[in-house]
Structure formats: C-alpha cells, structure tokens
Amino acid sequence: MVATPSLSLLLASFALAFCLGLPASAQDRATLVADNLQIEGDSVLIAEGGVEVFFQGRRLTASRIVYDQSAGRLIVEGPIRLTDETGDTVILANQADLAADMTEGLLTSARVVLNSQLQMASAEARRIGGRYLQLEDTVASSCRVCAEGDTPLWEIRARRVTHDQQERQIYFDRAQLRLAGVPVFYIPRLRLPDPTLKRANGFLLPKFSGSTTFGTGIELPYFLTLGASRDVTVTPFLTSDKARSLTLRYRQAFENGDLTVVSGLAGDQTKEGLRGYLFADGSFALPNSFQLTFHGELVSDRAYLTDYDISDADRLTSFVVLTRVRHDELVYGNLRGIKSLRTAENASSIPSIVGDALWQKRFTGLGGMGNLRFASHGHLRRSISELDTDGDTVPDGRDVARSSIGADWRRDWVLPGGVLGAVLGETRLDFYDVAQDPVFAGSSARLWGAGGVELRWPLVKNGKDGARHVLEPVLQIIAAEASDANIPNEDSILVEFDEASLMSLNRYPGSDAVETGLHANLGLSWTRYDPDGWSLGATVGQVLRAEANDGFSAASGFAGDSSLWLASVHFETGTGLYASGRIIADETSGVARGEIDALYYGERLTLSSGYIWSVADADEFRGDDISELVMFGGYKLTDNWSTEASGRYDLIEDSASRAALGLKFKNECVLLDLSLSRRFSTSTSVLADTRFGVTLELTGFGGGESAGPAQVCRR
C-alpha cells in the first residue's frame, strides 16, 4: 500500500509518542512492522497482524495496535509482549489501554518477568508515571510451573504489588509466603529488591545454626549502602544459651583499590566480660607499578575465633606487603606481626615482628642468564631474656638482623648425541647481627659459593601401540664452600626432599644455613604418554657426598654421606583423575617421610585425599611421629541435590580432629543448604564442639545466588 500524507503524518506522530520524555540525544527513530496498516479519520492508525514496534532497544509485539492521535491513546490487543532495552524486564498481557507515551495505562491478565527469574502474575496491572507498575491480587514466584493449576514450591501472595522500576524495588502489601501451597508467614508490608539490583538497603537471608557450645541460634544480617562505593553489613547473632554477638563488615572501593574491615563483639557464658575480634584487608595500586596489600588481625582471647566458627588459626598474623613485578625485576617488602594463640607456646619467645625486603634483577651475560639479589631480614621477640625457659633450644629474647647480596648464573648447551649440558653457579654474602643470645651474640659475616655442571640425556621411544616413553637420567656434580661464621639457624630447619630439591645447589629453604662440600645429585625419571590421554611417571634419586654432612636433620633424608632414596610416582588420566606419591627411604632407615595425594573431578563425583607420614625428629621440633589422613568428597545426587563430606584423621592418636557433612538442594527458585560439623580436638581454651547450620534462600530477589537447574516439564 502507498503511504498517503495522512498516513505518513500518523506514523511520524506514532514515532514521536515513543520519544516523549526521553532526552533529545536518545530520540532515535521508532520502527513499526505489521501485516496491515490503515487509517481512520486522519487521526487513528490501526496496525494488525504480527505487529512489532522497535524503539531504543525496546520491543513490543502484539496482534493489533490502535493509535488514536487525537486522544493520545494506544489500544493494544494481545498476546502482548513488551521487553525493555536491557532484556531484564518482560511484560506479558492479553490487552492494554495505554497513554501514547506508555507512561500511564492499564494491562489486563498481566505477567511480569524480571531477569528471567521472578514472575509476578495479576488480573490487571497499572502503569503509573512511567516509573511504577502496580499489580492487584498478585502471585509472585521464581519457581517454574509446568501445568495450569500446579502449585509452585514457594510463592508470595499479596493484595497489591508495586514495582518501582527506577529504584528497582518491589513493595508487597499484605504479603503471605506459602511453601508448597501452605501459608507459613504473613507480613503487612514487605520490600524486596528486584533481581536486577545488586546493592540495596535491607535484611539479607537469615541463617539458622546450632552448637553444643551456644545452643540454637539465628543470624539476621542487615545490609546498608553508604553511597556508590561504600557499604556496611550489620549481623546480630542470638542463641538459646544466651550468647549474643554483633558483627560489622565495612567495605569501601577506591579508584586504586579496596578496603574491607570485619569486627565482632560478643558476650556469652564461656568467658566473663565482652569478647571480640577485628580483621582488616586492603589492596591498592600505587604509582610506578607498585602494589600495596595489607591484612590485620586482633582478637580478645585464644578461643574466640573457633567458638564463633570464624577461623581455626592458632596464630594471628598481620602484614603489610609492597611489591612490583616486571619482566626482569622484582621488588618486594613485607612487614609482619605475629601473635600466638597456642596454650603451649610462650608468645613472648617467638618472633613477634618480622621484616623482609628483596630486590632482584635478571641479567644476561657470558651466553647465559642470571639474577642479582639484594635482601634484608630482621625479627624481634618481645622477651629480653637470654635464657631458654621454654625448652625449644632458642633463647627467649634472641633478635636477628641480616643483609645479603647474591647472584646466580646458568648457561645451557646441546651436546652431541642429544645430551643437554649446563654450567651453573651461585654466590652470596651475608651479614648478621644477633642480640640477646649468649652463644651467637654479635656481628658475623659469611661468604658462600657453589658451582657445578649438569648433564641430562632425554631419550624418547615411540611404542607400537602409539604410546610415547621418555626416559631422562640426570647428573649434577656440585662443589660448595662457605667461610666460618657464628650464625643461628632459624629459617632453614624444615628441609623438603622432593624432585625440585634433588637438583639444587643449596637445599636449605632459608638463608641461615647453607649446603657445603662436594656432592653428586643423581636422578632418573620415566614417563609414559598414552595415546588415550593418560600418563604415568616415576622418579628416583639420591645424593652422594664426598664427606658426611651433619647439618641436615635425620627426617629430611639428606643427612650423612649419602642421602636416603627419593622415589615418586604420578598418574594422570586427562579425564579428571590425578594421583601422586612420594617416599624418602632406604633399606636401613625404612621410610622417613612419605605422602600421597589423589584428586578426581568428574561430572557428578569429586574426591580429594591426602596422607602424610613423618618420623619424629627433635631437630625439627617434632617429638612424635606424624600420620594424618585428610579427605573430601562431593557427589551430585541429581541435577538439584548434592552432598559433600570431609574429615581429618590422626592415625597415631587413632582419633579424628574434624569431620563435616553437607547437603544442598538448588533449583531455579530455591537454595537449601544443610551442614553438620564436629570439632573433636580439645584443649584448655578450645573445647570439642558440634555445629549444624541451615540456610534457605528464595532466589529471584536482588543479586544473590545464581539460579540452579530448572524443573523439566514432561508431556
């Protein structure tokens, strides 16, 4: 059909009607698509058949639209579907009588869908002031209903529901919560955020819990925004055994970082007076690519964190860290404060303030690559005594300061026959100052250097079945010397014997001790790569010395003129299963240390476990053997139900230290989380305790937990 002047004028007016109330810069052209267009009396535009209107990202579909220019009205016949520019709000209706700019009007048999989650259905809905949508006798739910007459898992019925689209809030009048159709809760007035809103003032979901220490309790958090970049959450906790606590969490975002402060204050029957704690975390980007990170911890007594299930930490550690990482440079500074919560530990005799600084620069030269390092360290104890009153062989007040300069270098070659050769070396000069120690007091300097050669011969064989075998023998000949110095060893007591430390110039993890003498590091590794994606590997190794080294502990495996044997194995399927094991042993000493780790991550099943064994060693401050097993398992029973369990078991004591069970249900409209845990360990300050927790969340309000799998409707 050819557009007449009257029709063109009406189309322009129709487009203008959609533009009313919008800023001029946003007034784009509206598009109307229909099977048939006609005019009546030069002022009425009628669009019929597959009507679609597009404007500013909004979309309106209907079977028929009548636009009366003189009356400024839109009569829309359904089925009607109106989608906003974000796609978060969808309005469905059978019929609508609207103002031309759609800021006022009435919709019948209306249904509102917010963020593809929350649905609100009503016999009629009114559009008011271009901001509010008011529904009468409304049913709201985010549960999927498969057939007419089915009852949703939960629903809110209200006399009136008002959706403030500007503030993204939903107001319920005379609201009644029903579970499976049964009324369980009534409230005259209720305000909830719509699912598109991430932050809003109001109560968060309550959490019900119970413990043998405090009885049954409830937490009811209240979230309060303090502008666009700050908020605070206030959480009172009340229990049947008269425990009372109040927790505050403050968060603030800055242009260059963020800050979080959490504090709590409590009163209960376990301690006299008030108890409390304070944690603070922050991270900030500074000029010149520096990053500042800090964490602070304060607590009133040893048991507070475990009593209120905040943390199992038995030492408080606060720190400030400054770092800068570039492709060839590392700058690092760390200042820590440490406070012990252990009943058997004298807090004044452990380092309470520890500081570290490091500058490291990578360089190339002589055909190889190396690193230059400047480092400093210091730690202070609160005690000023030169005596060892707690029996740990360390004077209670020993303070240490250290400055170091060091460099390392390595060059690699490919030799005839595919042999890989390397020359490597490292040197370090340390300056120490020790106070309040009758044996090590004073200043000392030590020069240490090590150098060696390395040969590797990787051999590859392809099997007839498509598998690839890689066999690699490795030999290192290392010579190291150090000048005499009177230096206490505090940071190099625990030495790990693994695949990495087997081939190393210095196996001590810290700076206080260094490895010397002439020794050979021997290793052999084999790996099979199967064409089906799985792999199996094994490594064996040993250290042989020209002279015995008595600086290592017996449990480390490095002591004597020959180390114990290191044997390790690892297996990976490529489909979710990984397992590894390592032992340090020989035919005379037996197994000095061993560990096994396993992880499986499948579509429904997740399993992880770890086992560790270590013999007692006074040099490592371990008076008894260690044999512990840690386990975790999770299983997805159905698409909606899942369960998990975890535990820690001491095989030497033949007792569990912790165990936990969890059961979770999650679908498109409900999250139910049930938990049960038991702490078995006891002390004078921390008692055995059993806890349970219940959390129920009705999804579809605010930016909370994401929805789970929806119910499948079957015909």
Single-letter residue type at 642: S
Q: Taking the CA atoms of 40, 42, 44 and 47 in sequence, report the sign of the dihedral they define.
A: positive
Residue in the structure block whose two tokens are 């590797």? 456
Structure tokens at 209: 């819990």
Task: For residue 353, give every residue at least 6 positions away whose Cβ sits within 8 Å of its Cβ, in sequence order, or none.
Answer: 335, 336, 337, 338, 379, 380
Instruction: Show the tokens assigned to 320.
Output: 């400030």
Residue 662, number of CB atoms within 10 A of its CB: 16
For residue 28, pLDDT beyond 60:
no
**Per-residue three-class SS string for 596-616:** EEEEEECCCEEEEEEEEEECC
User: What per-residue confidence (pLDDT) applies to 1?
Assistant: 39
Reported as a single tens digit per residue, the pLDDT across 652-667 is 988 888 899 999 999 8
Which ranges constitute the DSSP H helices of 304-371?
Answer: 304-307
Give percent above pLDDT 90 in the chain. Answer: 66
> Is residue 16 scored above 60 in pLDDT?
no
pLDDT at 507 over 90: yes
**Residues 693-702, buried b or exposed e (16+ Cβ, 10 A)?**
bebbbbbbbb
Cα–Cα distance, 673 to 662 (Å, whole number): 7
Cβ burial, residue 434 (10 Å; 0-12/13-18/19+): buried
**Token couple for 165:** 């689209």
Give pLDDT, residue 591: 92
Considering only 81-85, 677-681, 706-710, which range has the smallest mean pLDDT? 706-710
Q: Which distant-in-sequence residues (6+ apart) come within 8 Å of 285 by Cβ?
A: 256, 257, 291, 292
pLDDT at residue number 699 = 83
pLDDT of residue 703: 57
Q: What is the DSSP string of 122-189?
A: EEEEEEETTTEEEEEEEEEE-S---STTPPPSEEEEEEEEEEETTTTEEEEEEEEEEETTEEEEEEEE
Q: Which two tokens stand for residue 540?
A: 């064996």
Flag whether pLDDT at 702 surpasses 70.
no
Closest CA to 446 of 499, 409, 403: 403
Task: Identify any residues that bridge with 454 across adjacent strands, giving them in sequence order.
Answer: 422, 476
The token duo for 629 is 């097993």
Read off the pLDDT band of 5 (50, 70, 90).
Answer: very low
The half-sphere exposure of 78 on its side-chain side, counting CA atoms within 13 A, is: 16
**What count of Cα atoms within 13 Å lies in the side-chain half-sphere of residue 205?**
18
Sign of CA dihedral 365, 366, 367, 372: negative
- More confident call, 253 vs 28: 253
Q: Identify the pLDDT of residue 425.
A: 98
Tokens linked to 166: 């500007």
- Tell me how far apart the alpha carbons of residues 88 and 78 are, in angstroms, rounded to a whole number: 21
Residue range 201-207: average pLDDT? Answer: 85
- Confidence tier at 496 by pLDDT (50, 70, 90): very high
Are residues 371 and 408 in contact, defined by beta-carbon separation less than 8 angstroms?
yes
Question: Which sign does the torsion angle of CA 8, 14, 15, 19 carry?
Answer: positive
For residues 111 and 93, give the distance between their C-alpha atoms in angstroms, rounded to a whole number. Answer: 6
E strands in 286-398:
291-299, 315-326, 329-340, 351-365, 368-381
Handedness of CA 242, 217, 342, 355 (dihedral sign): negative
Tell me the per-residue pLDDT of 607-650, one tens digit each, with 9 for 90 and over: 999 999 999 988 888 888 999 999 999 999 999 999 999 999 99
Kind and range of the H or E element at 471?
strand 468-482
Scan for tokens 């937490």, then name that residue: 219
**At 77, phi and psi to the nearest 5?**
-110, 140
State yes or no: pLDDT of 199 exceeds 90. Answer: no
Strands 36-40 and 58-68: unpaired
pLDDT at 269: 84
The pLDDT of residue 24 is 39
Tell me the C-alpha distance between 68 and 46, whole Å: 9
- The full set of domain ranges for the chain reads 1-102, 412-636
Cα(152)–Cα(148) distance, rounded to whole angstroms? 11
| Token reading at 233 | 């959450």
Superfamily of domain 1-102: Lipopolysaccharide (LPS) transport protein A like domain (2.60.450.10)
Q: Report helix, strand or coil for 25.
A: helix
The mean pLDDT value of the chain amounts to: 89
Residue 336 has a pLDDT of 98
3-state secondary structure at position 547: strand
pLDDT at position 42:
77
Relative to beta strand 399-414, strand 368-381 is antiparallel
Triad 149, 150, 155: Cα angle to 5°? 105
Residues 297, 262, 206, 301: is their CA dihedral positive or negative? positive
Residue 366: strand pairing partners: none
In whole angstroms, give the CA distance from residue 623 to residue 17.
85
CB contact at 8 A, 376 and 404: yes
pTM of the model: 0.83
Sign of CA dihedral 611, 691, 305, 345: negative
Per-residue tokens: 96: 């609508």
- Say if residue 524's pLDDT is above 80: yes
Cβ-Cβ contacts under 8 Å for 44 (sequence gap 6 or more): 10, 66, 67, 68, 69
Range among 139-153, 200-214, 580-594, 700-714 rated most confident: 580-594
Question: Residue 638 to residues 582, 675, 708: CA-CA distances in angstroms?
Answer: 37, 18, 12
- Report pLDDT digits (tens) over 388-416: 888 888 999 999 999 999 999 999 999 99
CB-CB contact of 170 with 163 (8 Å): yes
Please give the Cα distance from 360 to 195 (Å, whole number).
49
| Short-list 172, 176, 177, 147, CA closest to 161 | 172
Residue owning tokens 């297996």: 571
- pLDDT number for residue 29: 66
Confidence of residue 94 (pLDDT cuts 50, 70, 90): very high
Q: Parallel, antiparallel, or unpaired for β 222-225 and 535-549?
A: unpaired
